[in-house]
Amino acid sequence: MSVESRSRQSFWSKNIAWLLFMPAFILTAGILIPFGYSVVMSFTDFNLTAGTSNFIGFGNYIKLAKDPEFWNALKVTILFTIGAVAIEVGAGFASAYLLNLGMRGQKIWRTLFLLPVMLPPAVAAIMWKLMMAPIQGVFNYLLQSVGLPGSQWLGGSSSALFSVILIDAYVFMPFAGMIFLAGVQNLPKEPYEAAAVDGVSSWFTFRRLTIPLLKPVILIVLLFRIMDCLKQFDIIYAATKGGPASATMTISVQAYYHSFRWTNMGYAFAHLVILWAIVYALSYFLVGQWRKAVSEVHGY
Amino acid sequence: MDGERLTLGKVLSAVGLVIIMLWTIFPLYWVFNMSIQTPIDVISYPPKFVFDPTLENYSVVLLGKSWLGKYETVQTDFPRYFLNSLIVCSGAVILSMLVGVPAAYSLARYNFRGKENFAFTLLSFRFAPGLIVIIPLFVIFRRIGFYGTYYGMIFAYQLLTLPFSVWLMRGFFEDIPPELEYAARIDGYSWWGVFRKIDLPLIAPGIAATGILSFIFAWNEFLFGYILSSDATRPVTPSLMGFISYEQVLWGQMAAAAIITLLPSVILAIFIQRYLVRGLTFGAVKG
Amino acid sequence: MVNVELKNVVKKYGDLIAINNLSFKVNSGELMVLLGPPGAGKSSTLKTVAGVEEVTSGEILIDNELVNNFDPADRDVAMAFETYALYPHLSVFENIAFPLRAPKRSRLFSEEAVKEKVLEVARFLEIDMLLERKPKELSGGQRQRVALGRCLIRDPKVFLLDEPIAHLDAKLRYRLRQELKKWQQRKGVTTLYTTTDYLEAFSVADRIVILNKGTLQQVGSWEEIYNHPANTFVGMIVSDPPMNYFDGKLVMDGGKMLMRAKGISFYLPSLTEEKARQMNISEVVLGIFPSKILMSRDENFMPGSGTIVDGVAKFTELRGSRKIVFVQTPQDLSFTIQLPAEAKVQIGEKVRCFFGEDEVQIFDKQSKINLFWV
Ligand SMILES: Nc1ncnc2c1ncn2[C@@H]1O[C@H](COP(=O)(O)OP(=O)(O)OP(=O)(O)O)[C@@H](O)[C@H]1O
Ligand SMILES: [Mg+2]
């Protein structure tokens, strides 16, 4: 064996870390271009049909601040997020509890429970749209057959938002549920045995032991669900296209209309940059909280 | 112990479980039901739970023929959409794996400047609103002639699957103690030999799970396909929007199309159930 | 034959200095034990010799050849990892055979030869009935033996054994440490061996390197270390219970140097005295191993010329074949003594202790260095 072949602190081995990472870096850096484009273009009056774009400074943002439709979209986005996340977390927690009781057929229940998570959200929305049809839909039929009044569901200006929240909850409640379930199953046994030996009440154990230990998992569910709800597009667009009359018009859908229907791209970008800023700030905060919770749990 | 209360608790739990199962299963059951009804049955009121099943909707959707027999139908290119989805999703997944495995390995095993920053930037794209990336891509693609091409779509879809794959596989690599690699190096294997004999066999299930999950995400994606594809390259999931305009008359076919579209995702997901929690949380929760 | 030499090796993990300017040489065929408490840098040293961790600075020579830039695969060393590092997807058999199947060796061994060698090693380690199992189906001690087997199956230039028998049951540990030594001698392979157990170190080592916080404390044979521990740290870790320490003062008394501690005083041997003078030391620490102190309940006990200390047995503790006695004197000096288990002592009883002055180690109080080595 020659000395050369044995001492190969060559270019390859010195830079191996970067060489392996480089291709992925280049491909994903591709995302920065459109991203930067959006931010820059939000300061212009870029119009797709006219093909013109002039720098107008904060013009789009000033316009946004005065645009009642934007404020409505913001309100709808927040209501949608609060409603969907509340249902998903609450029902998810209850499901995790029930699926962890060790009832017979548990494995099958868990598998069936997971199914909606893997549905294409847009397809799930279409499925529910079929069932929520006001005249021939099965939901109204079921309601009426137990003597309750039917609903306009997606078609009613007061019921539409709740209806899309239900659809989002249908798809993503199992997401919350299965993560809570994983968290519950990963709980250490010893502290509970110790608490049982100490004769502590189960409510106390739940509040002082289970909740703090599950905090990282709860924060992960909140992180993913809040972020996804704030930017949810597929479900709302497939179910209502923002209607009726802006009842489900979130910022994302509004931005879609501004860009592809009305071709004032600059204004659409301003919507998206604002939405992105909100999402980013929140995710930054939640990721920080999550890290803190993780280190607290490991410090136990 | 109080036997009475125990039974009550059990009954309540069982009722709760039944409610949850109804909530998850009923929509799937009902849409499947609609998909095997004739156009007459499907719009009948009250809705029919018992009827003569038919596979007509499926044959119409799958064969993609304009079928002007007894009932009104519309011509769809469903088989073509299906093929488009396969091409675009497989392309994105293969690209993500080819490029993602080395990158994940690098992140897991080496320390280099800016590593964590870059890794977190990757993650933060997961939380960016899709349109902020898609609209510029649409504009740029139109200009450079990528709009509506498979290349363009694969590039766009890998923006979704690559960061996800890198993050998830980094976790899988980190599950392999570096000492295993050290030991194998000392045992006389080259870097590549170690990767092939130790890392690959150990991470193979993780790579498979990551690939399948990426495929599902790509398959389920609506917005990217809806905006960046032309008629010829439209994937299935966005193509379903095409049915909506005909919803009054085409419920059965729409249901059939929905069932066909969701089937691949659901079947694949059952295979990798074990990795779902980990996958859906980008590795943050190890299920 | 192969020697191994470290020259001024430094290993840092970020800001943490795991090995601090370490130099020593292992002679051909020698079994060198690295002894030190957890975190001393023993594993780090072996890893840098193996080449799986790069040194921050310094040189590593194997067979008089600088190997700093060699790949681990090209250094021809075999290592048993403290954490075992078993390949989870391979059976015990394949784990042990793994080094023989490396591309560079696979031509040398037929499948038959591999089988034979694996069986030989497995029998030696008493794991021949486990060959079909996967690592996760093994107990900790069994895993450790597989790790050892993967190492012993080779004929490398150097064995690197990182606490190779730490997790075995006591009986097997005693047997294996002797057998390992024999195996190593028969093969004549230069070996670096780590442990935290000084008895194990003394029993297998040709020579011992004592490490603390990455810094070399002493290199030498068992006798050299035990007779003249280089500093108070060494005295502490090569004895259990640790060496007894008393603060003392050196004073001039009629031209000779007198050592004074609480209730003890004696003249320094001339060699020590000279060193103390040279260094101008007056504050010292006396050290004496518990095994070097004699004790009797007889008030007139006087086995020879030496120092007598009277005290009270405060409590006793039985440790296997030894009895440890804690003694306190009226002058508030306390120390431990090691006696045979049969020795009869009552708690609270007056006892007379004796030690020869040549058994006392004298350390500089400031640097904690044994004056013998100055
Ligand atoms: N990969 C690493 N990264 C950072 N610090 C490390 C690493 N490996 C070891 N260290 C640190 O280096 C020091 C020496 O560690 P080393 O493992 O060599 O000790 P050791 O003597 O083998 O201890 P033990 O008896 O516990 O095995 C320790 O303080 C340890 O925390
Ligand atoms: Mg160690």
Sort out which chain A residues have CB atoms less than 8 A from C74's CB and list them.
Answer: 1, 6
C69 touches chain A (CB under 8 A): yes
Please identify among residues 3-62 of chain A the ones whose CB lies closer than 8 Å to any CB of chain C: 6-9
Q: Give yes or no: residues B48 and B87 share one domain.
A: no
* CA angle (B283 as vertex; B279, B287 as ends), nearest 5: 75
Report the distance separating Cα B152 and Cα B155, nearest Å: 5
- The domain that holds C71 is classified in CATH as 3.40.50.300
Find which of C49, C83, C100, C158 to mutate to test the B interface (most B CBs within 10 Å of its CB). C83
Give the closest-approach CA distance of C26 to chain B in angstroms.
20
* A241: alpha, beta or left? (left if phi > 0; alpha if psi -120 to 50): left
Same domain, B27 and B116: no
CA B121 vs CA A32, A49, B128, B129: distances in Å: 10, 34, 11, 14
My answer on whether C165 and C182 are in the same domain is yes
C228 and C168 within one domain: yes
Look at residue B287 and tell me if it is in a domain: no
B73 within domain boundaries: no
Digitized pLDDT (tens) for each residue of chain C, 374 residues in all? 789 999 999 999 989 999 999 999 999 999 999 999 999 999 999 999 999 998 999 999 999 999 998 888 889 999 999 999 999 999 999 999 999 999 888 888 899 999 999 999 999 999 999 999 999 999 988 999 999 999 999 999 999 999 999 888 888 888 888 889 999 999 899 999 999 999 999 999 999 999 999 999 999 999 999 999 999 999 999 998 999 999 999 888 877 888 888 888 888 888 888 888 888 888 899 999 999 999 888 888 888 788 888 899 999 999 888 999 999 998 888 999 999 988 888 888 899 999 988 888 999 988 889 888 87
Cα(B186) to centroid of ligand 1, in Å? 19
User: How many CB atoms are closer than 10 A to CB C306?
Assistant: 15
| Residues C222 and C318 occupy one common structural domain | no
Nearest CA to ligand 1 atom 12: C18
One domain for residues C165 and C268: no
> Of A85, A76, A167, A180, which is closest to residue A124 (Cα–Cα)?
A167
- CB-based contact, B11 to chain A, within 8 Å: no
Q: What phi and psi values does residue C351 have, to the nearest 5 degrees?
A: -130, 155
CATH code at C362?
2.40.50.140
Residues B151 and B30 in one domain: no
Chain-centroid distance of CA B137 in Å reads: 22
Residues of chain A short of pLDDT 50, as ranges, are: 1-8, 300
* Matching residue, tokens 């408490």: C37
Q: What is the pLDDT of residue A24?
A: 85
Q: Which residues of B touch C86 (CB under 8 A)?
A: 180
Partners for C (CB, 8 Å, 3+ pairs)?
A: A, B
Nearest to B127 among A91, A117, A279 (CB): A279
- Of C219, C237, C255, the one marking the end of a domain is C237
What is the chain A residue with the closest CA to C74? A6
pTM of the model: 0.84
On whether both B126 and B207 belong to a single domain, the answer is: yes
pLDDT in tens, A60-87: 888 888 889 899 999 999 999 999 999 9
Chain A CB within 8 Å of residue C72 CB: no
Judgement on whether residues B22 and B114 belong to the same structural domain of the protein:
no
Pocket test for ligand 1, best of C10, C16, C35, C53 (most atoms within 8 A of CB): C16
d(CA A92, CA A86): 10
Give the structural domain span for C333: 244-373
Q: Nearest Cα to C226, choosing from C203, C193, C259?
A: C203
Please check whether residue B68 lies inside any domain of the structure.
Answer: no
Q: Which of C188, C213, C237 is the last residue before a domain boundary? A: C237
Residues C233 and C259 in one domain: no
Phi, psi of C21 (to 5 degrees): 50, 55
Chain A interface test: which of C55, C64, C66, C69 (most A C-beta within 10 Å) = C69
Instruction: Say yes or no for a CB contact (<8 Å) between C99 and B188.
Output: yes
- From chain B, the residues in CB contact with A145 under 8 A are 46
Beta bridge partners of C369: C231
Residue C99 DSSP code: G
pLDDT of B69 reads: 47
Beta-carbon contacts of residue C316 (< 8 Å; ≥ 6 apart): C323, C324, C325, C326, C345, C347
- Here the ipTM equals 0.85
- Of C215, C237, C259, which residue is a domain's last? C237
The whole-angstrom separation of Cα A41 and Cα A57 is: 10
**Are the beta carbons of B141 and A37 closer than 8 angstroms?**
no
Domain architecture of chain A: domains with CATH: 1-29 (no CATH), 59-298 (1.10.3720.10)
pLDDT for the residue C197: 92
Q: Does the residue B62 lie in any domain?
A: no
Residue B190 in any domain: the answer is yes
Quickly tell me which residue has 């640790």 as its tokens. C242
Q: Note whether A157 and A245 are within 8 A (CB).
A: yes
**Alpha helix ranges (H) inside chain A:** 3-6, 11-14, 16-29, 32-41, 59-66, 68-99, 106-114, 121-131, 138-145, 160-185, 190-197, 202-205, 211-230, 234-239, 251-256, 265-298
Cβ neighbour number for residue B64 with a 10 Å cutoff: 16
Residue B119 belongs to some domain of the structure: yes
Distance C44 CA to ligand 1 centre (A): 6
| C174/C33 same-domain check | yes
Residue ID of nearest Cα to ligand 1 atom 27: C38
Q: How far apart are CA C159 and CA C168, in angstroms?
A: 19
**pLDDT tens across C291-325, in order?**
999 988 888 888 878 888 889 999 999 988 899 99
**Conformation bin of residue C331: beta by default, left when phi > 0, alpha when psi is -120 to 50:** alpha
Residue C126 CB partners (closer than 8 Å, separation 6+): C145, C172
Asked if B188 and C103 come within 8 Å (Cβ–Cβ), the reply is yes
Residue type, A96: A
Q: Which helix (H) or strand (E) holds C204?
A: helix C198-204
Confirm whether B213 is domain-assigned.
yes
B32 and B147 assigned to the same domain: no
Q: How many domains does chain B have?
A: 2
Statement to judge: residues C108 and C169 lie in one domain: yes
Same domain flag for C154 and C265: no
Domain that holds residue B140: 78-280
Q: Which of C10, C42, C83 to mutate to test the pocket of ligand 1 (most atoms within 8 A of CB)?
A: C42
> Does C64 contact A at CB distance below 8 Å?
no
Q: Which residues, other chains included, contact A119 with Cβ-Cβ below 8 Å and sequence gap of 6+?
A: A127, A171, B220, B262, B265, B266
Nearest to B179 by CA among C101, C197, C46: C46
In this structure, are C153 and C21 located in the same domain? yes
Of A117, A115, A135, A119, give the one whose Cα is nearest residue A127: A119
Q: Are B254 and B39 in contact (CB under 8 A)?
A: no
Environment class of C213 (CB within 10 Å of its CB; exposed 0-12, middle 13-18, buried 19+): middle
Cα B179 to Cα B201: distance, rounded to the nearest angstrom: 16
B6, B130: one domain: no
Closest CA to A126 of B79, B39, B241, B75: B241
Residues C185 and C271 both lie in one domain? no
| B161 to A17, A81, B108: CA distances (angstroms) | 22, 25, 18
* Dihedral pair phi/psi, residue B20, rounded to 5°: -60, -40
Do B47 and B158 lie in one domain? The reply is no
Burial of C255 (0-12, 13-18, 19+ CB in 10 A): exposed
The CA distance from A195 to B131, in Å, is 50
Ligand 1 first shell, C-beta below 6 A: C 13, 16, 18, 36, 38-44, 82, 196
Helix H or strand E encompassing C274: helix C270-279
Low-confidence ranges of chain B (pLDDT < 70): 1-6, 64-76, 243-249, 287
Per-residue confidence (pLDDT) for residue B246, from 0 to 100: 53
The three-state secondary structure class of C347 is coil
| Residue B87: per-residue pLDDT | 94
Question: Is there a single domain that holds both residue B89 and residue B145?
Answer: yes
Q: For C37-61, what is each residue's pLDDT tens digit?
A: 999 999 999 999 999 998 999 999 9
Measured from the alpha carbon of residue C49, the closest ligand is: 1
The string of DSSP codes covering C164-186 is: TTTTS-HHHHHHHHHHHHHHHHH
Cβ neighbours, 10 Å, residue B6: 10
**Alpha-carbon distance B95 to nearest alpha carbon in chain C (angstroms):** 28
* Statement to judge: residues C198 and C332 lie in one domain: no
| Probe residue for ligand 1, chosen from C6, C12, C44, C210 as the CB with the greatest number of ligand atoms within 8 Å | C44
Report CA(C38)–ligand 2 centroid distance (Å). Answer: 7
* CATH value at residue B259: 1.10.3720.10
Pick from A60, A103, A127 the residue to mutate for testing the B interface (most B CBs within 10 Å). Answer: A127
Question: CB pairs below 8 Å between A and B: how many?
Answer: 255
Q: Give the residue on B whose Cα is nearest the Cα of A26.
A: B99
Count of structural domains, chain C: 2
Inter-chain residue contact C74 with A6, CB threshold 8 Å: yes
| Statement to judge: residues B20 and B132 lie in one domain | no
Task: From C86, C58, C63, C83, select the one nearest C75 (Cα to Cα).
Answer: C63
Q: Are residues C138 and C286 in the same domain?
A: no
Q: Is residue B184 part of a domain?
A: yes
